[in-house]
A and B are shown apart, each in its own frame.
Chain A
Amino acid sequence: MLVYPSSELIFFCGGFGCFAMVLLRPPHKTGLSYNICSTFNDSIATHMDTNLFRKLHAEGLISEAALERVATAEKNKLFSLHWELRSILYLGVLLVSGGLGILVYKNIDTIGHTAILLFIAAVSAAGFFYCIKNKLPFSTGRVESPNSFFDYILLLACLSFVTFIGYLQYQYHFFGNRYGLATFIPMVVLFFTAYYFDHLGILSLAITSLCAWAGITVTPTRILQDNDFNSNTIIFTGLVLGAGLIAIGAATRIRGLKAHFAFTYTNFGMHILFISLLAGMFQFDTIYFLWFAVLLGAAFYFYMEAVRSKSFYMLLVLTLYVYIGLSYVIIRLLFYTIQADMGGVYLTFMYFICTAIGLILFLIRMNKKLKTL
């Protein structure tokens, strides 16, 4: 029941990258961290203290009109049930789809695979039809979605398309043993959809399936079936893929073709590249120093990028990856190269303490630098 055994690593990067991507949003105002914090905080967070604003007005900091606005807003404050209703809706959808899934699973013999396939195809087609009907005109910049349901419907259409292809291959071996083709088609469709309708979520899906396709393509069928895969190939694929994604990200930004997609590309590329480099360092341990040098080179590139785009997130990521690489080099030098014994253990501990202090100072300094840029 394994899914792409050879590309688990890449999947992992993808998932991690996506997670990190969301975290990049400024934490105080937007994004996941806000949502989590605000879950139980609303009653306090949305409350404005009229007395405080009266005091601010008395101190001459805000105008009479502003005070009036705050007081009126506070008096007529509405209680938002947005979060609650959305949760109920989400739970309902989850329950229905889960219940339907089990129902179909138990009655597959009477329903038949063809009927299910047709149903999935119909859902997908209907979704795409709706989106094409309602979309705003294409532009190379950012395009807003016409209404709040649009993005969900597009997502549903894409996911059911992917499911359709997967089902087709699983049940009828539609593509035979050409697994590459079975991943290539969804990938192309996803990329096209992401650009055509301007959907960041689908772009992430598309990049993930690009990774899957690359992982499949470099892996001969025999190896896939034996569930034993050649990690060297995977590492080099990861390197090429990571570098490629970074290049696409840079090109996207410079050429201005959907420039807001650039970060998603760069982020995926960064994690894949760094993880591949670290994996390469551990795998080819006779020339590990060479890999470390490349790692430092990549880190330098991202350092420049971080400063250019004022990205604290990129800074943190590159610091941690370099730290892992450096620690590997030091420990290897101590215990393989000079065969240190107990003294080496002490030195290792001291190394970690000193470097961590050094990195803290580095991060604090960079924090200041990026803020003043």
Chain B
Amino acid sequence: MIAYNSEWLGNLLVREQADKAADSNYISRIEKDQVYAAYPVQFYTPNFFVRIGLFILTCVIVFFSLGLVSLLFLDHLDQIGVLFVFFGLVILGALEFMVNKGHYKSGVDDALMWMGAGSIIGGLNGLMDISSTANAIIIFVVALFLFLRFCNTIMAGIAALAFLAIVFLVSIQLGSLAKAITPFVVMITSALVYFFVKQQIKNPKNKYYANGLLMISVIALVCFYAAGNFYVVREASIALLNMDLKGGETIPLGWLFWIFTIIIPLLYMARGIQKKEAVLLRTGLLLVAAIVFTFRYYYHVMPAEVAMLTGGIVFIALAYALIKYLHEPKYGFTYRQQNDLFFMDKLTVESLVIAQTFSGPQLPTDTGTQFGGGSGGGGGASGEF
């Protein structure tokens, strides 16, 4: 099923493990070299920057080839969609050819994959008037195929999103009862996807899909939350289901969605801590922001700046206390970085963030209102995330 040479893919995983062990000095450099010699990888994977260059140039080639061919069909512009679909298939053929020649993450294969997918989907849309449900199905099929064949992580995410979109779009078209239970349908589907993927990730057969499956599980977690979020449900009910709600009116079962809104991220985090799972923990952490925004959207309990100040102080205190507490490992948790090697290069990353956020001294001109603002963005303390 996978287009790339699976023996080399397997050897690549072995090499990665050896790299990791060598980085932490568990195995010596000589041992690492021995592992490398015993597990050869013949893929053509150039340097990262060369990969960027090859990506851009391949896109240029595909784009202008398509343009050149389109010029020949200028008289039949209404049928241009056929050309795009055909061209997309040709691109995917070229992709197979390049992969066969050993290209793996070389920039060429990345570019061909995206251009091919875009051309086919765009062509089908140009060809006929496609409903959004049908479009979701097309995207799902194309993305799933590319994920399974080329193990692409982002394609996996797109496929998962498209799948949940299909479920949602079908559900809201199935009469009034279906409309009422749409949030639950999407939530249940997301949960099923999540548990399915969790199971698949453990299967050694799927080791080449590990990153893609991880991506799907993140998407499923986020969609599970979104489908139960009060703001999302209320606004979607108004926009898509023609529910007539005035300013302060709530939705049926509003209380339940409020519970979901607040409890799900906390559950994610609790479970993440309990199971020591980074994906759950981090998704939960990110979704805490969604709780705050949802709540503040409907209830203005205090002025924004006071809320920011109190929230910020709580966060700093919490982080500071935990950092101090976990200085020595406790219960299998630590504040120490996984690999202190990265510590050395931290500064370089920061210099980027610094120069992007604060581009030198800012000197306003004479005109404009005289007001006291201007120094709003003082938070440059830690640029590392």
Give Cα A125 to B369, complex, Å: 30
> Which residues on B are within 8 Å of A, measured CB to CB?
14, 17-18, 20-21, 23-24, 26-28, 31, 34-35, 38, 46-50, 52-54, 56-58, 60-61, 63-65, 67-68, 71, 108, 210-211, 214-215, 218, 276-279, 281-282, 285, 304-309, 311-320, 322-323, 326, 329, 332-339, 341-342, 344-345, 347-352, 354-356, 358-368, 371-385
Q: Chain B residues near A293 (CB, 8 Å)?
A: none
Q: Which residues of A contact B322 (CB under 8 A)?
A: 81, 85
Interface contact B349-A35, CB-CB below 8 Å? yes
Q: CB-defined interface of A70-104 with B at 8 Å, one 1/0 digit per residue?
A: 10010001111111111111111111111111111
Residues of B contacting A: mostly:
helix
Known: A35-B385, A61-B38, A312-B48. A99 touches B309 (CB 8 A): yes
Rounded to whole Å, the gap between the CB of B116 and the closest CB of chain A is 17
Complex CA distance for A356 and B214, rounded to whole angstroms = 35
Is A98 in contact with B379, judged by CB distance below 8 angstroms? yes
Q: Separation in Å of the B310 CB from the closest CB of chain A?
A: 8
B371 CB contacts on chain A under 8 angstroms: 105, 108
What is the minimal beta-carbon distance from B31 to any residue of chain A, in angstroms? Answer: 5
Residue-wise, chain A 331-346 has the 8 Å CB interface mask toward B (1 for contact) of 0000000000000011
How far, in angstroms, from A53 to B24 measured CA to CA in the complex?
14
Pairwise interchain contact B359-A89, C-beta atoms closer than 8 A: no
Asked if A66 and B27 sit within 8 Å, CB to CB, the answer is: yes
Cβ contact within 8 Å between A40 and B279: yes
Known contacts A22-B351, A63-B31, A349-B68; A96/B304 CB under 8 A:
no
Report the bound CA distance from A9 to B50 in whole Å.
27
* A328 close to chain B: CB less than 8 A: no
**What 4 A-B pairs are tightest by C-beta distance, nearest first?**
A95-B312, A108-B372, A92-B315, A99-B308
Residue positions of A touching B, CB distance < 8 A: 1-5, 11, 14-15, 18-19, 21-35, 39-46, 48-49, 52-53, 56, 59, 61-63, 66, 69-70, 73, 77-106, 108, 113, 116, 120, 151-152, 155-156, 159-160, 162-163, 165-167, 169-170, 179, 182-183, 186-187, 199-205, 208-209, 211-212, 216, 224-225, 264, 312-313, 315-316, 319-320, 345-346, 349-350, 352-353, 356-357, 359-360, 363-364, 366-367, 370-371
Find B332's partner among A79, A97, A360 (CB 8 Å cutoff). A79
How far is A104 from B304 in the complex, measured between Cα atoms in Å? 13
Complex Cα distance A368/B347, Å?
30
